[in-house]
Amino acid sequence: MAGTKLIITCMKNEGPFILEWLAYHRSIGFDDFLVFTNDCDDGTVELLDCLAGHGLLTRMDNPYLQVEGAPNPQKGALAYAGGLDQVAAAEQILVSDVDEYVNIHAGDGTLDALWTAVGAEVDNISMQWRLFGSSDVDSYRDRWVTEQFDHCAPKFCPSPVQAWAVKTLIRTTGGKWPCGRFKQLGVHRPIEPGRGATRHTKWVDGCGRPVQDKFLEAGWRFGTHSYGYDLVTLNHYAVRSAESFVVKRDRGRVNHVTHDQGLAYWLRMNINMERDDSIRRHLPRARAEYARILGLRGVKTRHAAAAKAHRAKIRALLAREDMAAFYAEITSPRMKLLSRHLNLLTRGQMDAGPESVPEEVFDRIERVPDLMAG
C-alpha cells in the first residue's frame, strides 16, 4: 500500500489561519498532517482536536521538554517525530509552517504533477521561499491569506538572507530512515546523512536542477547560483496584516525563540516590491475542500471562535502603549515606502532595522515611482 503524503508542523495561536492552510494543502495532494502545539490559548487546540476527530490530522502537545538536548520547541518536536509510526509510514514528508503554502506551477498544480516534472529518480525537492508582505493591509479580516496578500519580494532577492530559505519535500523510499537516506528531520531539510547519502541522493531545486554539492551536506538557503521558481514556489506569508503581526510578535517563535520579531524583522520580511497571484489558479479546488471541511460537525463554530479570539487579542495588545507605538510604526507611510524599495538597503541595514537607514536613502526612495500603487 502506498504511504502517506505528510506535513509536519508546529503551531502556537494560529487558530484563524488553520482551515485555509489545511484545505489548500489537502487539495494539492497532501493527505496526512502531524501538528505539535505549544501553549495555545486562542482556540487553536480546540479546532485542531475537532479536525482530528474527523480524521483529518493528528495533534500532540509539543513534547520537546522530554527530548534530551532539544534547543527549541520546533527542533525538539522534529526529533520526537522521527520515532513515530505515523512518520515511518509516510512516503513523502514536508516540514512546514502554517504561513507557508506550496505553490506548484508544474502541470495541474498537484504533488503528482511536481514529481512528474522533476522525474521519478528524484528523492528531495528543496522549495525556495518567496516572501510575501502585508500588501499594505493593516487590519485583520477573516479572509483567505492567499487572496489578501499578493505583494512580494522579487524573484532575484539575495538580501535579506531569509529571502531564499528553503523547505524540502522528501521522498522517503530511497533509504532506511524515516526521511530517506538522511537520519533526522530538520527544519529546512533532512539532516545527518547516512553512509553514501550524499553520493546517491537525487536532490533538486525549485527549477528541477540538481542542488550544489555543498548543499547535500548542509545548508538552509540557496544563493545566486541556485535560486529559481520555475516548477514550485514556497509562498511565505510571514507577516500577514499589521494587526496579525502584532499578535505574532507577542506570541514569540518556535525555532529562533530568543529573537524578537520587532521592527527589524518587519523590515526584512514585509517586502511589497512585486505582485504574484499565481497561487490563485489553485484556489477553486482549495475552496471546494474548505467548504467540505467547514461543513463537518463543530468545525465552523470553532473556526469562528478562533477568529473572535484573534480579534480580542489584537484589541488587548493595541491597548498597551508599547504595542500601539509598534503598530503605528509598522503602518507608517515611511515603513510602507521602505517595503517597496528594499533593494536600496544594505544587508546590514536590514538586520539592524529601519532606524539604521540614513535620511538620504529615504530622500532617494521618495523620488522613485511607486510601481505598486493603485
Strand segments (E) across 17-89:
32-37, 58-61
Q: 10 Å Cβ neighbour count for 360?
A: 8
The domain segmentation of the chain, as residue ranges, is 98-318
Residue indicated by cell numbers 463554530 = 301
CA separation for the pair 176, 183 (Å, rounded): 9
DSSP 11-71: ESS-GGGHHHHHHHHHHTT--EEEEEE-S--SSHHHHHHHHHHTTS-EEEE--GGGSTT--
Task: Please provide the DSSP assignment of 314-331 as one string.
Answer: HHHHHTSHHHHHHHHHHT
Q: Are 99 and 17 in contact (CB under 8 A)?
A: yes
Helix (H) or strand (E) run with residue 334 in it: helix 333-338
CB-based burial label for 91 (10 Å; 0-12, 13-18, 19+): middle
pLDDT in tens, the chain (374 residues): 468 999 999 999 999 999 999 999 999 999 999 999 999 999 999 999 999 999 999 999 999 988 887 888 999 999 999 999 999 999 999 999 999 999 999 999 999 999 999 999 999 999 999 999 999 999 999 999 999 999 999 999 999 999 999 999 999 986 678 788 898 999 999 998 887 778 889 999 999 999 998 999 899 999 988 889 999 999 999 999 999 999 999 986 454 444 668 999 999 999 999 999 999 999 999 999 999 999 999 999 999 999 999 999 999 999 999 999 999 999 999 999 999 999 889 999 999 999 999 998 888 888 877 766 65
Q: How far apart (Å, rounded) are the C-alpha atoms in residues 30 and 212?
A: 28
Look-up of cell digits 477568529: 307
pLDDT digits (tens, 9 = 90+) for 166-193: 999 999 986 678 788 898 999 999 998 8
